Amino acid sequence: MNIQPTHSSRRILLPVRQWFILFSLAVAFFLNLIPVGSAVGLPDWVALVLAFWSVREPLRLGMGTAFVVGLMMDVASGSVMGQHPLAYLLLSYAAGGLSRRILWFPLVQQALHILPLLLATQLVMVVTRVVGGADFPGWSYFLGSFSGALFWFPLTFVLLLPQYQPVEKDENRPI
């Protein structure tokens, strides 16, 4: 029986380190900065990593972090100030609120939970900009959410890697 709700493996995870959360956000930010030109369907890495930590550690990752990261994204991408913070805040809040529910599911179904969250994030950005007078970027813009949901599976393993502890066979240990 699978008692531990956090993961399908029975391993007990080590506690997460705060610096690793910030480090992973910085790496995601760097990935977002890589100019890909007209390539569509690449996920918003920052949104994905924010959603991941909001689901995993809702008490460690505050909305202040989401706000600051969003502001940095605004400047880096040259978009309107406040567009990314607003979307990331709502994402972080929703993912944090749903975390108890999401973590009960296996990874594939977790990804299905994340997909509407990412789509809503993009929708918030589209509404903000279109109200502000910008052009609708086309439906292919939303492909990024689908690829992001596909990345949920590998991302979980990569980001939880520092928390795994070596498997030791100890017959006397109760758990």
Residue 156 sits in the site that holds another protein (CB under 8 A): no
Per the CB < 8 A criterion, the answer to whether 163 and 13 are in contact is yes
Query: For residue 111, what are its two tokens?
Result: 């990804």
- Burial class of residue 114 in the structure, from the number of CB atoms within 10 Å of its CB (0-12 exposed, 13-18 middle, 19+ buried): buried
Q: Are 129 and 79 in contact (CB under 8 A)?
A: yes
Q: Which of 1, 15, 38, 171 binds another protein (CB under 8 A)?
A: 38
Q: Which residue number, 90 or 103, has a Cβ lying nearer to another protein?
A: 90
Dist. CA 105–CA 63, nearest whole Å: 25
Does 15 participate in binding another protein (rule CB under 8 A)? no
147 contributes a contact to another protein by CB under 8 A: no
User: Based on CB atoms, which residue is closest to another protein, 7 or 84?
Assistant: 84
Give the binding-site size for another protein (rule: CB under 8 A): 46
Query: Is 85 a binder of another protein (CB under 8 A)?
Result: yes
Q: Site map for another protein, 63-82, x if CB under 8 A?
A: xx-xx--xxx--xxxxxxxx
DSSP letter for each residue of 57-81:
-TTTS-HHHHHHHHHHHHHHHT--T
The continuous run of DSSP H or E covering 44 comes out as none
Q: Which of 15, 133, 166, 174 binds another protein (CB under 8 A)?
A: 133
Angle at 10 between CA 9 and CA 16, to 5 degrees: 80
Token look-up 């689908």 returns 146
Binding span for another protein by CB under 8 A among 11-19, 98-106, 107-115, 122-130: 122-130
Given the rule CB under 8 A, which residues bind another protein? Answer: 29-30, 32-38, 59, 62-64, 66-67, 70-72, 75-83, 85-86, 89-90, 93, 96-97, 126, 128-130, 132-138, 141
